[in-house]
Amino acid sequence: MNITPHENDFGAAIEGVDLSQALSAEEIQQIRRAWLQHRVVYFPDQQMTHEQLEMFSQAMGPFGDDPYVQAIDGHAHIVEVRREPEEDVPLFGGTWHSDWSFQQTPPNATILHAKIIPPVGGDTHYCDGVRAFASLDTATQQRLQDLSAIHSARKPYSPEGVKAGGGDRRSMTLLPSDAAHNTQRHPMVRTHPETGERALWVNPLYTIGVDGLSEAEGEALLSELFEHMKNPEFIYCHRWRPNMLGMWDNRCVMHSAQGGYAGHRRVLHRLTVAGSAPY
């Protein structure tokens, strides 16, 4: 197995392993070590059926709970991320986010398998929450460690949110619900349960306020943090290829799907790995 890290050790290519076959315990350990170290890993040239994709996902951990998006028929844990050439609605996943951060136990990992990739655009950008936190001054770090943020799915998945986002014109089927208005409190600085690293863990899509601060104060603080997190020094820009599989650590990474491929189809298959309550 060959592992090639990217700049700042954030992101790595893994080659020399066939994910369509059952992995040995040693291979699983190697992949997990690389994933924990580099936070975003990808495997080029992996032709996989739905069943093989599910088998790999379960080697990484139990399936996560994926609400608000229709799964593939017969495969309750695979979501097809699809955009047709003529679609004119906002990109699915285009706003910076950590997957399902509004859940009590958000997923540890997201797995994405590329099926149809446009000749231009369609990249995914990733933000390293560990380095984003480490770069803050000590006083700011201490202040944030005492704060909790409020997360909710209301913006994209409430009935009014889906309507505003052109949900009826999407090739993907969204499942709006009033449950999207529910809120969940999580620490703004998350401690990674496996590495012990601390990460700045808020995101523009699902983080809607700061516990104990007024709406205006919370918005001001979050806006400042979001701008900080989008500093190019914390970002890895990933270019997809057909049959490439990517996996990232949702406990310390946020991501954003990029456009730039109008007139082209883009299809990927997505699963999540179950997680634990942030602390």
Q: Which of 99, 198, 238, 269 is catalytic?
A: 99
Q: Which amino acid is at 175?
A: L
CA within 13 Å, CB half, 33: 9
At 49 the three-state DSSP class reads: coil
Q: Look up 186 and say whether it is catalytic.
A: no
Q: Look up 77 and say whether it is catalytic.
A: no
DSSP string, 154-177: HHHHSHHHHHHTTGGG-SS-B---
Give the ranges where 64-113 is alpha helix by DSSP (H).
none
* Residue-wise burial string across 200-217, b where 16 or more C-beta atoms lie within 10 A, e elsewhere: bbbbbbbbbbbeebeeee
Q: Work out the number of other CB atoms within 10 angstroms of the CB of residue 113.
A: 28
Q: Look up 38 and say whether it is catalytic.
A: no
Q: Which of 97, 151, 238, 269 is catalytic?
A: 97
Q: Which of 38, 77, 251, 270 is catalytic?
A: 270
| Cα 258 from chain centroid (whole Å) | 13
Helix (H) or strand (E) holding 260: none
**CA-wise closest residue to 126 among 155, 97, 105, 102:** 97
Q: Look up 255 and say whether it is catalytic.
A: yes
Greatest extent of the chain over all pairs of C-alpha atoms, in Å: 52
Q: Which of 131, 192, 255, 269 is catalytic?
A: 255
What does the angle CA 50 – CA 48 – CA 118 come to, to the nearest 5 degrees? 100
Q: Which amino acid is at 54?
A: E
Q: How far apart, in Å, do the first and last CA atoms of the chain sit?
A: 33
Q: Which residues are catalytic?
A: 97, 99, 255, 270
